[in-house]
Every structure is written in structure tokens, then in C-alpha cells.
């Protein structure tokens, strides 16, 4: 098998468990928690928390499969590496392709979300500025990146805790909004909501894609993924219950800013500026972690010749794939300035689910002496990814299938025309 073991693909191992948990949690507790409950409630209604549980179960299976694979393949690149080593070069390439394209779109969405909260009239220039600044932070090394992520995560969690406290502790909370006997949304409604909510969980991939930069990866990666996922599930459960019990399905589904509207409905409008600041901080935290993860996958694919090899170079001083960092930052800036991202969120969700489907299929190839997870875990994860992906809106499914097909065609062309390999 092709490997990325050359000297240029060896970044420094500087991340401990706390650092990895911080990066994973900051990627999950991003801008999505401030917006995702509205469209999910429109689909699932009172079954919102059931959809959240379904998303969490699929995420747990994916996290377990990813952790076991990362322990066996402690290299940067995540499922790109696992698919390549366990299923074959094409599947690894498709995983890397889905992750890179989908998450580059997610980076643009996060940047635009940050700018929309801070200064809507200057959204695109401000979004570009945010991308440039965070790319510069990542360029100078992971220790600084984790420090910034830790600060942003603390700010966001403080804001969420304040909203949950005033919502569940106030007189506006109505537990009848959680009564699942009032309405059955149908399987597509329930699973479609779960697919949207799963997208908000998907940040734990950042931990696995940083496999080449953590200390003692066989212990650190599984522990960090489990801790980050469990903590974020509790946060989402509390936030989801808060906004649904206060606003109800109809008001929540119609809300453009559910947490801010919850604060106002409970008689705490003075929390709105803090919620706005929290949404901005969450977007920046997620953007920081997303750029990290995408750039590592780009560097791993470049080291194997699927992308131009010069992108795999690691900086002599900072120990990061600086050229991949700059390339990803530039790509996100182009999307921010030129692209219509109205359907990008759904497409990105499809790409993430395809990525994890390959991760679970790779986990099925682990041997009994390789700390293989129980068979049910990757089977449920694989089936869950496929079902949730095809429960998304039709436009997102069509776009996702088309982009994956394009990636497969490019891989085939490279195989048929060896001169295109570099």
C-alpha cells in the first residue's frame, strides 16, 4: 500500500488528551448549535430529542470505529488513511475527496455565519478576514491553535449555560412541548432531522485527522473522542430541550435565532448580545478546527500523489503542513466571495455521512487482534450513515452523489493515464 511515511509527512506530536478534546469539542459546539434546532424541529417537532438521540447513536458508532482505526493508523488524514489501508486506494481517495470538498464548504458557511452575526452589511469581507486570521493562527503551530480553541469553547459554553438556566428555570418552559404522542413526523421527518443534527456532531473527526500530531495516539485518540462526544451530547440535549419547551415546535421552526428568541421569551433580552457574541465565537472555533482537519487531509492526500505533492511539505519551524493550510484558506476565501452557499450545508452533511460510511466499512476489516469493535458498532454506523444521507433534501442528495461521482471519475482518469500522476 502507498503510505505517507516520508520525512515531509511527519508533523510534530504535541497534542495531549485535553488538547484533542478541546479541538474536537470546539468543532462540534460550533455555529450549528445556534441554528440547527430550528430546521430540525420543523422536520421532527416534539420528536426533536429522539432525532438527537438517533444522531448521537450514529455518531457514537462512527466515533468508535474511527477511534479503533486511528489507534491502528496514527497518521494525519483520518478516514482517507483508513479507507486506503483497509479497503483500497480508491475508497481512501473517495473519503478524502468527500471530506475535503464538503468541509471546505463548511468552512465557508462558518465564516459567513460569524460575519452575519457581527456585521451583516460587511459579511463577505469580514468572513474573508476571519479565514485569513485563523489560517495565520494555524500556520504558526497547534499549541497556539488549541489555546485559541479553548478560549472560544469556554465562551460558547458559558453562553449556552446561561440560556439553558433561564429557559428551564423560568415560567415559560412547558413540558407538554416534549410530548411525542402529540404528533408523528413520519420516518423521513424523523430521520431527516437526525441527519441535520448529526452534521452538528461531526466535529470529532478533527481528532482522528490529527492522528499524526497527538502523543500516545493509541490511548489519546479513543479517550478524546469518547469524552468530546459524550460532553457535547449532554450540551445539545440540554439546549434542545430548552428551546423546544420554551418556544414550541412552530415558533422554534420559524426562528432564525432560536437561542436569542428563547432568551427574549423568558424575559431576559439582555442575554441577546451575549448570545450573538457566543454564536460568533462558536463560528470562529468551528472554523479554526475545520481548517486544521481539512488541511491535514489535503497534506496526506498530497503525500500520496492524489493532490500536488508540494502541498504535503511540513514547515521546518512550526511543524505544520503550511502549504496545505494556505491552499485550504485560499479555497475557503474563494467560496466566501463567489459561491452561493444556500445548498452547501445539506451537501456538506451528505459528504460527512459518506466519509463516515467509509470509516465504518474500514472498521469491519479490522482483525480480532487489532482491538476490533463489536460487529454491531460498524454495522449500525454504516447503515445509519447511508439511511441519514439519503433522508436529506433531494437537492443535497443529488449534489452529493454528483460530486462523489466526479471524484471517482478523476481517480479513474489518473489510473488510466499514468502521466497525470505527480
Please state the domain extents for the chain: 7-417
Tell me the CA end-to-end span of the chain in Å, nearest whole number: 17
Give the pLDDT band of residue 128 (cuts 50, 70, 90): very high
pLDDT bin (cut points 50, 70, 90) of residue 387 is: very high
- In the chain, % of residues over pLDDT 90: 22
Return the pLDDT at 73: 81
Secondary structure letter of residue 179 according to DSSP: -
88-117: pLDDT as tens digits: 888 988 998 888 888 888 888 788 778 777
Minimum mean pLDDT range among 38-47, 98-107, 137-146, 386-395 = 137-146
Using the predicted structure, report yes or no on whether residue 8 has a pLDDT greater than 50.
no
Average pLDDT over residues 246-269: 87
Per-residue pLDDT band for 2 (boundaries 50, 70, 90) equals: very low
- Cβ proximity of 287 and 130 under 8 Å: yes
| Selected residue with higher pLDDT from 77 and 385 | 385
Q: Which helix (H) or strand (E) holds 269?
A: none
Q: How far from 210 is each of 10, 76, 251, 300, 336, CA to CA, in Å?
A: 12, 5, 40, 11, 25
Q: What is the per-residue pLDDT across 293-349, written as a single tens digit (0 to 9) for each?
A: 788 778 877 877 777 778 877 766 766 777 888 888 898 898 888 766 556 667 788
C-alpha 254/C-alpha 147 separation (Å) is: 36
Count Cβ atoms below 10 Å from residue 247 Cβ, excluding itself. Answer: 25
Q: What is the mean pLDDT of residues 69-95?
A: 84
On whether the 7-417 domain is CATH 1.20.1740.10, my answer is yes
Cα separation values, 172 from 37, 44, 165, 175, 235, Å: 18, 22, 12, 10, 20
Q: What confidence tier does 263 reach under pLDDT thresholds 50, 70, 90?
A: very high
The residue length of the chain stands at: 422
pLDDT at 144 (0 to 100): 53
The pLDDT of residue 142 is above 70:
no
pLDDT at residue number 21: 79
Calpha distance 29→299 (Å, rounded) = 25
What is the Cα–Cα distance from 333 to 128, expressed in whole angstroms?
5
Phi, psi values for residue 417, rounded to 5°: -115, 85
Separation between Cα atoms, residue 63 and residue 263, nearest integer Å: 33
Q: Grid coordinates in use for 214?
A: 497527538
Q: How many CB atoms lie within 10 A of CB 404?
A: 18
CB atoms within 10 A of CB 174: 13
More confident site: 282 or 77: 282
Q: Exposed (0-12), middle (13-18) or buried (19+): which is 341, by Cβ within 10 Å?
A: middle
pLDDT band at 363 (very low <50, low <70, confident <90, very high): very high
Please state, rounded to an integer, the average pLDDT across all residues of the chain.
Answer: 81
Structure confidence at residue 287 (pLDDT):
84
Query: Which DSSP category does 40 fall into?
Result: H
Amino acid at each position: 500500500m502507498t503510505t505517507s511515511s516520508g520525512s515531509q509527512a511527519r508533523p510534530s506530536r504535541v497534542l495531549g488528551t485535553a488538547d484533542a478534546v478541546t479541538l474536537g469539542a470546539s468543532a462540534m459546539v460550533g455555529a450549528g448549535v445556534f441554528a440547527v434546532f430550528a430546521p430540525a424541529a420543523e422536520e421532527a417537532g416534539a420528536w426533536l430529542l429522539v432525532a438527537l438521540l438517533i444522531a448521537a447513536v450514529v455518531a457514537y458508532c462512527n466515533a468508535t470505529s474511527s477511534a479503533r482505526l486511528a489507534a491502528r493508523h496514527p497518521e494525519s488524514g483520518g478516514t482517507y488513511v483508513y479507507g486506503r489501508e483497509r479497503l483500497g486506494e480508491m475508497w481512501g481517495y473517495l473519503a478524502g475527496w468527500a471530506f475535503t470538498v464538503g468541509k471546505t464548504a463548511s468552512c465557508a458557511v462558518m465564516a459567513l455565519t460569524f460575519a452575519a452575526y457581527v456585521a451583516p452589511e460587511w459579511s463577505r469581507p469580514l468572513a474573508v478576514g476571519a479565514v485569513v486570521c485563523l489560517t495565520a493562527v494555524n500556520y504558526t503551530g497547534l499549541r497556539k491553535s488549541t489555546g485559541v480553541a479553548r478560549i472560544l469553547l469556554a465562551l460558547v459554553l458559558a453562553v449556552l449555560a446561561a440560556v439553558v438556566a433561564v429557559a428551564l428555570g423560568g415560567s415559560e418552559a412547558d413540558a407538554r412541548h416534549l410530548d411525542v404522542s402529540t404528533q408523528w413526523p413520519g420516518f423521513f421527518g424523523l430521520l431527516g432531522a437526525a441527519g441535520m443534527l448529526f452534521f452538528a456532531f461531526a466535529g470529532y473527526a478533527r481528532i482522528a485527522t490529527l492522528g499524526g500530531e497527538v502523543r500516545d495516539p493509541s490511548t489519546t485518540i479513543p479517550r478524546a473522542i469518547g469524552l468530546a462526544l459524550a460532553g457535547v451530547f449532554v450540551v445539545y440535549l440540554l439546549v434542545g430541550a430548552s428551546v423546544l419547551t420554551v418556544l414550541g415546535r412552530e415558533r422554534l421552526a420559524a426562528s432564525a435565532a432560536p437561542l436569542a428568541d428563547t432568551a427574549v421569551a423568558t424575559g431576559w433580552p439582555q442575554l441577546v448580545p451575549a448570545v450573538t457574541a457566543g454564536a460568533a465565537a462558536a463560528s470562529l472555533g468551528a472554523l479554526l478546527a475545520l481548517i486544521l482537519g481539512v488541511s491535514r487531509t489535503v497534506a496526506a492526500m498530497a503525500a500520496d500523489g492524489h493532490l500536488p505533492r508540494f502541498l504535503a511539505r511540513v514547515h521546518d519551524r512550526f511543524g505544520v503542513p503550511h502549504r496545505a493550510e494556505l491552499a485550504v484558506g485560499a479555497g475557503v476565501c474563494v467560496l466566501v466571495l463567489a459561491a452561493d452557499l444556500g445548498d452547501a450545508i445539506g451537501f456538506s452533511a451528505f459528504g460527512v455521512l459518506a466519509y463516515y460510511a467509509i470509516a465504518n466499512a474500514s472498521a469491519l476489516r479490522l482483525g480480532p487482534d487489532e482491538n476490533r469493535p463489536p460487529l454491531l458498532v460498524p454495522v449500525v454506523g454504516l447503515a445509519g450513515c447511508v439511511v441519514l444521507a439519503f433522508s436529506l433534501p433531494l437537492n443535497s442528495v443529488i449534489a452529493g452523489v454528483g460530486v462523489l461521482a466526479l471524484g471517482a471519475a478523476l481517480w479513474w482518469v489518473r489510473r488510466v493515464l499514468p502521466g497525470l500522476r505527480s
